[in-house]
A and B are shown apart, each in its own frame.
Chain A
Amino acid sequence: MILSIESLTKDYTGFNGFREKILSAATLGLYAGTFRKKALNKISLELGNASKGEIVGIIGPNGAGKSTLLNILSGILKPTAGQIKFQGNVRSILELGVGFHSDLTALENVLYNGILWGYSKKFLLEKKDDLFSFAGLSGFESHPLNTFSTGMQMRLAFSLATLSYADMLLVDEALAVGDASFQQKGVRRFQSFREEGSLVIVVSHDIHMMVSLCDRMILLDQGRIVDFGNPSSVSERYMDLIAEHSHDNAQSAVLSDKNQFQAYLMDSRNRKRNLFFTKERVLFVFEFHSPAVLDQITVGIHINDARGIRVFGTNSRLLKFSGLQIGENETSIFKFSLTLNLGPGKYSAGFSVHRGLSHGTDCFFWEEGILDFEVEQTEEIGFEGISFLEPELKIEKANDASSDES
């Protein structure tokens, strides 16, 4: 399924005050008010694949145009200019509101909404057990929806929307309210859609889930495509973008010059290395020079795996070092000592300097992937997966008090 978007532009119309609203209603929309907001600016893209499906993620800060793009693709909004070419059926789960009515029972809502989504009543009745079971709501069919939590409603909506194959599935933050196990089920369902040839477009603020899920990602900012392609590099660009935005807000680009910092890894014998073994104690060293006084700062470190998934992150504030200060023209060295309880593979580390708990506000420095390193598994430690959780096994026999440990 191929989706082709050419020079897509969306300008929202709006009103400054009641006088404009009255005038617009009285002229039946001829007068469209004076407020304008450009949500999408000449976006051109080709998504999907002629031979197989694809999962594409859209990320970006609030107001970037992500939801507008999905609304236009689903046919809810009309673009101001540009063209969209796609042949096939489209199903969407947009926003957290699911369109269910609280006074109707879960099954009634499923039937009414399902028919609206293009399912036949017969099909819905045949599949209702699967649907409720996937949502983890078996036995709740005849319960009024006002007895359901938001998460339960969302699970039901998700289960309904993905009950059968769609050529294009648009999902906006639909997994945000589900618990971890439901998120995993949702991800598996997206993957099965892709295997069947569907184009799945997902919007989410959960970057790590997106990196692991998507084949390609789009980074939108202020209605334009900033980056498009490999999820790992797009997510890194997104982190940089957030830092740039908070940089602008802080107006304190004191550490933006890359010559003002150095980073390296050291083992327990103070040797600089880039290859380590699982369970090894490693120092992540970050030196930087500040041309101006920085007070109340937080210094952070984050480690990503090869897919761009964040495996660990911490900062001085979380480690109970509050209110750090660096003087003018002072070089400070920060050493984070970590035990690499990681599975074998390639990793990268980044550092940040900001105020507060996260780099979303007053960010002075943010750099992804400054250090690349590799972890290997030793023969004495055998395990599977991305982390080593220092397992212990205790076996007890029910009939006698003796026990063995290994």
Chain B
Amino acid sequence: MKKIITQINFFKLVLVLVKRDYAMQYAGTLLGLLWLLIQYVFQIAVYYVLFGIVFSDGGGRFIYQGDYFLYIMSGMMLWIPVSEMLLRSCSIIYDNKTLVKRTGMGMKLFIWIPVVQGLIYYFLLFGISFAAGFLRGGLHVISPLAVFYGAAVILFFSGWSFIFSKASLILKDFTPVMRLILQVLFWLTPIIYAVPEEYQRYLAWNPFYGIIELNRWMFHPSYRDLTYVDFQGMFALILLSIVSFLISRIRLESVALDQI
């Protein structure tokens, strides 16, 4: 019972820090946290206009021909939280270095901030997508269950988020490198564009391909037949994650702490 109370108090503190992180980012702005929502809605709207309207005729088979709104939303609702979480994890400890030294729980506490923020982004985007999809029609009765899959994906990537938050203390170049990798991965993954079947084998080792396609299928099952999707990249990532997690448990935290 004592352990449960300790855990509850721990996550209460994490929530305070998440709130503080937003307060810091948006302190003094007119719209505050609303900027977060505006930023994502605007980003998705630009892609929607370009790939769903402007290039819808001239883009050939790389433009999704079904309900493009559901297509882009079911991709972005997962990509944005995962990429934001991984990127933020690279700087979270360094940005809060002095505060980390204020509390004995320092590092353990702060590495959860990007994870909670990732979940917030996901639930926000899922809510918007679900509401819009419901109003437009096209969702399935099992569509709400996709929220569990999405949350599980975020929690899966939280392991990498923990690793990056510590490794970035050793090598500060982690943040620009991560930004670069995420940019490449974004354009290598069919999130805003579609990939004709003959090219899909080239995506087999991109783990995000399987992850996003699975999400699309869960969000609106009529989207496509998943038997044509290669999941080896996704399974390879799961295996790599388990190995990396075990290695990082050995001494990554103590080496990282020595660099603060």
Contacts and interface: CB of A to CB of B under 8 A. Distances in A.
Contacts of B256: 29
Given A74-B104, A112-B16, A117-B103, A97 B163 contact: no
Interface stretch (A98-106, A130-138, A338-346): A98-106
A29 B98 contact: no
A97 B103 CA distance: 13
Contacts of A77: 257-258
Interface stretch (A18-26, A273-281, A357-365): A18-26
Contacts of B248: 28-29
Interface in A8-50: 12-15, 21-22, 24-25, 27-30, 32-33
A116 B99 contact: yes
Contacts of A71: 101
B44 to A, nearest CB: 29
A236 interface: no
A32 B251 CA distance: 8
SS of A interface (majority):
loop
A104 B100 CA distance: 18
A90 interface: yes
Given A29-B251, A99-B102, A78 B170 contact: no
Nearest to B99: A99
Contact of A95 (B17, B101, B167, B174): B101
A103 B28 contact: yes
B99 to A, nearest CB: 4
A115 B14 CA distance: 10
Contacts, number: 111
Contact of A76 (B17, B96, B106, B167): B106
Contact of A98 (B98, B163, B174): B98
Nearest to B15: A115
A15 B174 CA distance: 16
A240 interface: no
Nearest to B167: A25
A14 B96 CA distance: 21
Given A13-B255, A24-B255, A78-B257, A90 B102 contact: no
B88 interface: no
B222 to A, nearest CB: 42
A99 B98 contact: yes
B98 A97 contact: yes
B13 A116 contact: yes
A94 interface: yes
A74 B13 CA distance: 18
A14 B250 contact: no
Interface string B153-186: 0000000000100111011001000000000000
A92 B102 CA distance: 6
A253 B95 CA distance: 48
Interface size grouping (class) on chain A: 35 or more
Nearest to A71: B101
A76 B104 contact: yes
B226 to A, nearest CB: 33
Given A28-B247, A116-B13, A104 B24 contact: yes
A116 B244 contact: no
Contacts of A103: 24, 27-28
A113 B102 contact: yes
Interface in B228-260: 244, 247-248, 250-260
Nearest to A31: B255
Contact of A104 (B27, B96, B166, B253): B27
Given A24-B171, A27-B247, A95-B101, 19 more contacts: A13-B254, A14-B259, A24-B255, A25-B167, A25-B174, A28-B248, A28-B252, A29-B252, A29-B256, A30-B250, A78-B254, A92-B104, A94-B101, A98-B98, A101-B23, A103-B27, A112-B16, A116-B13, A117-B102
Interface of B: 13, 16-17, 19-20, 23-24, 27-28, 96-106, 109, 163, 166-168, 170-171, 174, 244, 247-248, 250-260
Interface of A: 12-15, 21-22, 24-25, 27-30, 32-33, 71, 74-78, 90, 92, 94-95, 97-99, 101, 103-104, 108, 112-113, 115-117, 144
11 contacts: A24-B255, A25-B168, A74-B104, A92-B101, A92-B104, A97-B98, A99-B99, A112-B20, A115-B16, A116-B103, A144-B28
